[in-house]
Amino acid sequence: MSRTGGRPGLEQAWRHIYDRAYHLDRPPAAPGLDTSGWVNTYTTEPYTQAEMGEWVDETVGRILEHTPRRILEIGCGTGLLGNRLIPQVEAYCGLDFSVGALQRFSRDLEPTTRSTVCLLLASAKQIGRAPRWDYDCVVLNSVLQYFPDAAYVQEVLQQAAALLKPPGVLFLGDVRHRELLTVHHAWREWRAGADDMAVLEARASAARRHRSDREWSIVPADLADMLRSVGAHHVETRLKDGTHPTEMNLFRYDTTGFFGPVRQAVDPEWLDWKPGVERRIDWQAGRPLGLRNVPNARLAPLIAAERGLQDAADATSIGALRTAADSASYDDPLAVLRDAAAAHGAVIRTNWVRDRSGRTVDVAVLPGKESPETGPLLVRWPTTGQADAV
């Protein structure tokens, strides 16, 4: 689990925690999937192999879309990503401030790898220690939340961008969405609270957790602006596509900044989403189409739970609220669009930037397939204003 600190005291605290989590005498839960330290926020149990495997596979896939040759990973941890990236690249350098993490990573390295590999003990602000390999991809995955503030993040991004040889990408994975923290903490109480816990107690507990939450977070639009401020020419921000209801899939996102010359972005015709819109799309036209304000349905039961905690009488039990909510069902228009696009050979791209609340997303439906030769399709996303009717 990649962990990088900021101020000396904070960095020392995180280093102590994760050096303990990464003791070499603790074997990984599954071969090649060292998830030491990864705990489900809502159950307090370790994530299952299926949950972590899905998350790792999606993240590695999104990095490899860019066909990188030389990768620098800041906060590489035990090699959850690195061990899968190394066989696909010419050179890989991993930085982490935890001795225990790097020991586990080094132990599990494939001895026959033909890639050049370097593992360095360093904090995020010590990127200058990395060898100058003309990196075309710098990765910070599930790391930003452990930085102390925006100024620290800005400095690290500036240093990372300076190490990129254009055209290159800066991949920021598993970033916490700031506007959804209230929902996140309410959902935690909803999921973990005992059946006889009173709503008053659950509300107070969620509020305490929110106030004491010191992990860094940012709205996607603001992170995109930060990337542009350090030289990114194009930014793509995507929802997690995983199906397991983990904190990562529900509340986090991936953002990629493109540096140097970039190919022309697709410019779809933008329409406002309405129920049943997928039935009115001309799938045979072969034209890119954009849909604005598509409901982020995976958040619907979570927002309903938060509203239930707010509106219920103080003495009402969490168990009673959960029982009443069990019968609720929610349509998922994004899932419908994905299925329809797959059936017609189209590609779906999501963007979480325009709606700062996180309640809706913009979706691009793009004809044709992506390939390693062309790389991922880039989209000219809308900013403000209204779209045309479908």
pLDDT confidence bin for 209, thresholds 50/70/90: very high
pLDDT confidence bin for 389, thresholds 50/70/90: very low
| CA-to-CA dists, residue 120 to 1, 7, 73, 90, 255, angstroms | 16, 20, 10, 18, 25
Residues linked to residue 361 through DSSP beta bridges, in sequence order: 294
pLDDT at 2: 36
Residues sharing a CB contact under 8 Å with residue 303, sequence separation 6 or more, in sequence order: 183, 359
Name the strands in the sheet holding 360-367, side by side, starting at the edge strand that comes first in the sequence.
Answer: 269-272, 289-295, 360-367, 346-351
Asked if residues 149 and 124 have their Cβ atoms less than 8 Å apart, the reply is no
Residue position matching structure tokens 């069990």:
326
Give 305 or 372, the one with higher predicted confidence: 305
Pick from 335, 9, 22, 348: nearest CA to 148 = 9
pLDDT confidence bin for 107, thresholds 50/70/90: confident
pLDDT confidence bin for 146, thresholds 50/70/90: very high
Go through the domains of the chain in sequence order and give each one's CATH number.
1-177+217-262 (3.40.50.150)
Residue position matching structure tokens 């904090």:
123
Task: Kindly report, residue by residue over 34-76, the tens digit of the pLDDT.
Answer: 777 788 888 888 899 999 999 999 999 999 999 999 999 999 9
Say whether pLDDT at 283 is over 90. no
Task: Kindly report, residue by residue over 254-269, the tens digit of the pLDDT.
Answer: 999 999 988 888 999 9
Average pLDDT over residues 204-225: 96
* Phi, psi torsion values for 371, nearest 5 degrees: -145, 160
Mean per-residue pLDDT of the chain: 88
Say whether pLDDT at 311 is over 70. yes
Average pLDDT over residues 345-367: 94
Residues linked to residue 289 through DSSP beta bridges, in sequence order: 269, 365
pLDDT at 390: 42
Residues sharing a CB contact under 8 Å with residue 36, sequence separation 6 or more, in sequence order: 1, 21, 22, 26, 28, 78, 104
Name the strands in the sheet holding 234-239, side by side, starting at the edge strand that comes first in the sequence.
Answer: 116-121, 91-96, 70-74, 135-141, 164-176, 252-259, 234-239
Note the pTM of the prediction, 2 decimals: 0.90
Residue position matching structure tokens 């989403």:
273
Say whether pLDDT at 12 is over 70. no
| CA-to-CA dists, residue 160 to 64, 79, 239, angstroms | 18, 20, 23
Burial class (CB in 10 A: 0-12, 13-18, 19+), 291: buried
H helices of the chain, in order, are: 8-21, 49-64, 82-85, 99-108, 150-163, 181-192, 199-212, 220-229, 247-251, 300-311, 318-325, 333-343
